[in-house]
Structures are given as structure tokens and as C-alpha cells.
Amino acid sequence: MFGKLSKAISLLMTAAMIFSTAACSSATNVPDDPFSSVTLTGTEKTWTNSEDKYSELISTYGTDRFNGVTAVATDDDILYLYCEDDAEKDGTTPVSQNTVFDIASVSKTFTAVSVLQLAEKGKLSLDDTLDKYFPEYETGKSITLYDLLHMRSGIPDYCNDPDPFWNISGAEAADKKLSDIYLDKITDEEFLQALYQAPLNSEPGSENEYSNSNYHILAFIIEKVSGMKYCDYVKKNIFDKCGMKNTTSMAKDDMTYVPVGFDELVEYGFTDENGYPACPNNNRGDGGIHSCVSDMILFDRALFGGRLLNEKSMEIMLEDEDGYCCGLRKQQNGYSHDGSSFTCMANNMMIESEEFGHVYVIRMERTGSVKQAEGDLPDPVIGTSFTKGVYENGFYTNEYAGLKVKIAEEYEQIEEALLSDISGVLEDCTEEKDILRESATKWDCSFFSIDSVIHDNIHFKYVNTKLASADGKDYTEDDYIDDFITWMELTKAKGYTDEGRETVQLCGKEYVRQVVSGTDSFTSLPEKHLIYARNIDDDLMSVIWIITFYDGASPEDYEKLFE
């Protein structure tokens, strides 16, 4: 779900994607270790395949350095491995490809495979409606298993949209309910009773809306038709078949990464006292699998190698309905799924390659690794010629920057308090230059619109270029855009396409414009990022960041807003 706080501002009206849980043992009868030929030496925790044929893939996908583990592999070879230079929770074992993380929503891929396996055996049909399995669920007569798999049921998200699902109101009630979920105080019967009463957000089958409820319900159905607990089913039919010896479902106390910065999460009752997920029963199906990079490579190879599903089932697995398949999101060059827990996140990406068949990029990262700044940070533009912009009569105006921009009526202004929370933005920075850039940035004015058919967000920022420069050299527009794209992970390695950089006119001023397009991991909608930068003077840069979740308009359509 989800990564950078500054990007999350664009999703302020929805809760952060937080999935984690996990009660059963790991696999046995393991096939060959995919990393048997890989050796990390000393404090250098990086290994790169030296074969020339992989050089382009490695330069594209094998450069990540962060607080966690990442690997790039094909069906036959390991191309790249990076492990942070730190220890696991025992304090002595080095972090490695076998370090166990909560993969959170990446678990949905396993649930989808399980459902399709059961369909192959004739134990269920994707055309089955939910009332077949839950006779009390009257609304379920119009919702199929296919709808659940493709996030098209209309059922509210029980943890990201708790108010309608649980029939509660207000932040305090939502926090209490979420704490009960994350500490495993909600029974299956309580969940089902809430489901039976919850209103639908949309007509079943009519539109894509990401909801954890869909895959939680699928876990119940897997248990009903297989006669096994969900964790026992995935162990026998997936983990063991793939040789995933470090992977569990519905388990506690088996993760070996080290959470950081979790005091407030403990206070709210969202994690246990050590920062780990504490709900082995709740979230199963939609989350709850704990795994490692080496095991995920085994899983990906087995899935796309035809060892888990037959050819027809794989075709169904990859059917794209508005960007969401079965437990996978469609990307421009393959498939992927993100997962975000409270103190870690995961990404599993499968890239289709004519030369190599499939390329797998797996990333597991512990979050909150940069200490949050204490107290109030000094205003980053003190000493510059910055003047605050004004929003009135439907226009954002900043006289010093020479900007006057029409803001559509359906847009709402983001609260000033949220824009000033630079310390929270810094939590997402893992590189010194990211910290420099963000601490040198003034978020002046931002707007969002959930229902817009033009674009969803527009942000106006100003950067003190003297503070943002990591080496004391001039900090150019290209420097800012390059740094921002890397930090926000709007890269080819993350499934984004660079649509080009050029100089354009906004309000009669020359701006450098970068356009990047891809698929939003939260909504599964096509998204486009328009990043504009202009050095106003020797100290100050004007930055405009527009995010659109619709693909029908060109950058020029947005630029008409500028007078």
C-alpha cells in the first residue's frame, strides 16, 4: 500500500492500507535453494550476477538500497540481491534473503490461487453467489466469487472503511474497532453479522473498488469447501509444493525483521508490544502470510511455471478487470501486488520478458526507519523571497512565483496542519539527499477531489535550493525531478513509464515538466504524475505536482488551468 507519506496526502480521505496477521507451521521437503550460489561477503550486502546478458535488467531493477531485502530473478537465475547491513530480531543473525516479513496484502495472491485450485477440483465455481455459502446474507445473492476475486463486489472494506461495514461513526469508534481487529478480538461470527447488515458501496460487478473484505470472505469459503483451516490449506497446497520452508499463515512470533518506531502503534492497540502484527485469525485471506524473499521467488516460479494452476486457471488468474486480476494488479509490463503492514511493507512484481520469460522483483522493507524529527522544524524558506500563496474566489495565486491557477469547484483544500507535518514526511526518507530535499520543502497549498473527472490532486510547493543541495552545488530543476521520481518510486522498476521531459510555459514562465504514468497501487486506477519545476531565483524553486487517476486527458488539459 502504500509507501511515501507525501504521496499518501493524495489519499487523505481514505484510510491507509494496513494489512497484517497471520497459526500454522512452515513447509518441508524443500527443493533447491535458489540462492545456493549467491554469497554475500563482509559488510557488503549486495550480490550482482556478472553475466552480460542480464546487464540491462540489473540496471533497471537491481539498484535498490533501503532498510530491508530485495532480489531480482528469472525463472532460471538470480540476478541481484541486496540485504541491509543489520541483524534480525535475535540480534546476531544477519538480515538475509531468509529474513521473514509480514507480506500483508501480497497474501491475496495466495488466496486467489487457492480459490482457483478448488475450482479446478470442482469444489466451487467462480459463478457461485455468496448466499450459497452464507444463506443469511440476502445481498449475497447478487455477488459472485468472481466479483470478490476482482474487487468488484461493492462490499465496504472492513478495516479501511470501517464506518459503513461495522455501522459505527467517528474516529474514536473507528480506532477502537481497528484495535479490536488488529489484536484479534473480533470473531468470525461478528464479522459475518456485520457483513450481512453492511450496505454496498456500488452495484456488484459494476466497478473496481479495493476492499479487504473480499479476500477475507474468500478465506472463509476456502475453509468451508476444503474442510481445512485456511493456514493448513495454503501450507499443504502451496507452501509445501513450492518448498517455502520459511513461510507461514495465521502464525505469531515467527517474523524475524526488526520493527522500529512503533510506540504509538502499541498505544493505539494496532500491534503487539514489540511492533509485530498480533491477529492470527483476523485478516486471513486478505493478509496474514509471513514470508521471505527466497520463498517468494520459489512461489513466483511455481505459479508462472504451471505447478500450482493449470493453463485455463492461469488465464482466469490473469484476467484484467479495470486493473485488478485475481490477487494481482495488472501493470504495463506484467503483474504485481503491494502489501503494507504497520512496520513493514512488501512488493511482489512479475515482469513479462520476451528474452527471459519472466523476471521477478521482490522487495521487503521495514518502515519507519528514519527517526522522526523532534519538535518544530524551522521554516525551510526563511531567508528567501518566498511569499505565501493565496486561495480565494476559486484561484490559487502566488505573486512572487508568478502563478495564478483556477481550481475547479469540486476541489477541497487540504488543511494547513497536514501540509506542515514535515517531520512525518521525513519518516519515509531513507537517503540523506531525500531528507535534505524534503526538509527544504515548503508545502504551500494543496487540493484534492475524489470525484473529479479531470485530476485528483494538485500541490504547490517551494524548495530552498541552497538547503536541498547535497553537495553544495547548484540544485537544478532536473536534479529535483530526478530525486523526487526516485524517492517516490515512480520508476520503470515499479511499473511506471517515463513519458518524457520538456520545457513548457505556465503563466508565461518556463517550467521543466516530467510526465510519468502507471497504475496506483491503492486504487488500481491508471494514474499520471505531472511534475513541474522552475528556479525562481538563486534560492527558491517553484514545484507543482499534479496526480490524476484518469487517463483521458493530456497534460495540456491541466495546463489550461494556469492563467
Q: Is 178 helix (H, G, I), strand (E, B) or coil?
A: helix
Q: At what angle do helices 107-120 and 293-304 cross, to 10 degrees?
A: 30
Query: What would the 3-class secondary structure string for 9-35 be?
Result: HHHCCCCCCCCCCCCCCCCCCCCCCCC
In terms of residues, how long is the chain?
563
Please tell me the distance from the alpha carbon of residue 359 to that of residue 338, in angstroms, as a whole number. 17
pLDDT digits (tens, 9 = 90+) for 460-474: 999 999 888 877 789
Nearest-10 crossing angle of helices 212-226, 107-120: 40
Interatomic CA distance for residues 364 and 213, integer angstroms: 24
Nearest CA to 213 among 284, 113, 117?
284
pLDDT at 7 over 60: no
Which of these, 459, 455, 424, 431, lies nearest to 533 by C-alpha position? 459
End-to-end CA distance of the chain: 36
Residue 421 pLDDT: 60
- Hey, CA dihedral for 50, 51, 55, 57, is it positive or negative? negative
Cell of residue 201, nine digits:
458501496
Helix (H, G, I), strand (E, B) or coil at 17: coil
What are 143-155's pLDDT values in tens digits? 999 999 999 999 9
Q: What pLDDT shows up at residue 472? A: 77
Q: 50-68, pLDDT tens digit by residue?
A: 999 999 999 888 888 788 9
pLDDT reported for residue 154: 96
pLDDT digits (tens, 9 = 90+) for 78-137: 999 999 988 999 999 999 999 999 999 999 999 999 999 999 999 999 999 999 999 999
* Rounded-to-integer distance, Cα 64 and Cα 497, Å: 18
Contact predicate 360/335, CB 8 Å = no
Residue 329 neighbours by CB under 8 Å, 6+ apart = 323, 335, 336, 337, 338, 519, 521, 524
Please tell me the predicted confidence (pLDDT) of residue 77.
Answer: 95
Q: Which helix (H) or strand (E) holds 412?
A: strand 412-413
Which whole number is the average pLDDT over 298-320? 96
Give the pLDDT score at 8: 36
Residue among 74, 98, 94 at smallest CA distance from 85: 94
Tell me: pLDDT of 372 over 50.
no
Q: What count of other Cβ atoms lies within 10 Å of the Cβ of residue 541?
A: 24
CA distance to 17, 188, 213, 266, per residue, from 270 (Å) = 13, 19, 18, 6
| 439 grid coordinates | 526538509
- What cell was used for 358? 519472466
pLDDT tens readout for residues 418-451: 566 655 666 666 677 777 888 888 889 888 876 5
